[in-house]
Amino acid sequence: MEAIRRYYFPVASFLLLALTVAAFSDNLFTDTGQSSNSDPKFIIHGMLCGAWMILLFTQSCLVSADNVRLHRKLGAVGIAIAIGVTLSTIWLFVAAWNGWAAMSPEVKANRFLLPSYSLFV
């Protein structure tokens, strides 16, 4: 039971990182000529979100390895990255704004979820 508790979060965060890479594999590996791959706002946002997922995995591995001191030091980096993700997401929202009526339901939900992400992270 102790092994499950020790490795649950590293395994879960690795799976999230792997799913993120798989979900954006067209931008990263297969269809790299997309116009969004040369747009600075998408590049910055993608790098920040990627850093967030890598840090999540790193942090969970540090705690699992009982290196809480480094985990806490990297927490400040996590705060900076979270702020960057929030600001870059707002930048994308503003750049893509075509009016509330033009948004599909999932896009509207995304707009509502950003404040909760920012508050709870």
Alpha-carbon span 80 to 48, nearest angstrom = 10
Weakest mean pLDDT among 30-34, 79-83, 117-121 = 117-121
Q: What angle do CA 33, 37, 42 make, to 5 degrees?
A: 160
Query: Does residue 33 have a pLDDT over 90?
Result: no
Angle between helices 2-23 and 40-64 (to 10 degrees): 170
Residue 48: the pLDDT is 96
Residue 107: the pLDDT is 85
* Predicted structure pTM score: 0.82
Q: Is the dihedral of CA 99, 103, 108, 114 positive or negative?
A: negative
Number of domains in the chain: 1
State the pLDDT confidence band at 98, using cuts at 50, 70 and 90: confident
Residue 108: the pLDDT is 86
Q: Quote the domain boundaries for residue 40.
A: 2-120
What are the tens digits of pLDDT across the range 50-95? 999 999 999 999 999 999 999 999 999 999 999 999 999 999 988 8
Work out the mean pLDDT of the chain and round it to a whole number: 90
Average pLDDT over residues 21-38: 84
